[in-house]
Amino acid sequence: MGKHVHESCLYTKSHEWLLQHESDTYVMGISDHAQDSLGDITYLGLPEVGKAFKAGQVIGFVESVKAVSDIYAPVDLEVLEVNSTLEQAPETCNHDPFGKGWIAKIKVTQSEQLSELFDAKGYEAYLSEEQ
């Protein structure tokens, strides 16, 4: 079953996506593949606004009916805003992972790290390899 991969996003091996908002600000979330493997999402542990993280650090977590999974910083970043509607409606991440289910707006502080992420094609290839 092919899972949707948004054309314009960058992706991590741990299934987060990044989409450029303007210059160095990006929106991030978890991919359609991630929400599908997690099953019903029941709680989002959102990162703290204003906090800075290094690439690979845990910035939050997702609880689903099946498991608790960490969300990792795709690159060095600072959290500008979080999607607080997910507190009451975490299932939005299941229904619209690339849209209303966005998790945080971030400032990328080491933009050269972006080149290490997958583009849509690369992520698709990675997903088919993983199966």
Partner 1 sequence: METKRTPLTDWHKAAGAKLVPFAGWVMPLSYTSQVAEHVRTRTSASLFDVSHMGQICIQGPQADVFCDWLLPNTVSGLEIGSQASYHPLCREDGTIVDDLLIYPISTDHYLLCVNAVNVDKDMQHILDQAKIFRFEGSIENKSDQFAQIALQGPKSQAILAQAYPEWAELRRFRFSCADSGWLVSRTGYTGEDGYEFYIPNQDAVSVWETLLETAESLGVECAPAGLGARDTLRLEAGYPLYGHELDDEHTAIQSGLGLFCKTEHKTFLGSDVLAAQKQTSPQTRLVAFKSESKRAPRQGQMLTDEHGHEVGQVVSGAFGPTVGVGIGTGFLSIQREQVWAVSPQGRLSLTVCELPFYTAFKRKKKE
| Cβ pair 53, 47 in contact under 8 A | yes
Binding mask 103-122 for partner 1 (x = CB under 8 A): --------------------
Shortest spacing between CB 113 and partner 1, in angstroms: 25
Q: Of the candidates 9, 94, 98, 127, which one interacts with partner 1 according to CB under 8 A? A: 94
Q: Which of 115-122's residues contact partners 24+ apart within 8 Å by CB, and which partners?
A: 116/75, 117/10, 117/11, 117/12, 117/18, 117/74, 117/75, 118/10, 118/11, 118/12, 118/13, 119/10, 119/11, 120/5, 120/6, 120/7, 120/8, 120/9, 120/11, 122/11
Nearest distance, CB of residue 94 and partner 1, angstroms: 8
Is the Cα torsion angle 98, 101, 105, 111 positive or negative in sign?
Answer: negative
Minimum distance, C-beta of residue 85 to partner 1, in the bound complex (Å): 13
Q: Does 90 bind partner 1 (CB under 8 A)?
A: yes
| x/- map, 23-62, partner 1, by CB under 8 A | ----------------xx-xx-x---------------x-
Binding residues (CB under 8 A) for partner 1: these are 39-40, 42-43, 45, 61, 63, 65-66, 68, 70, 87, 90-91, 94
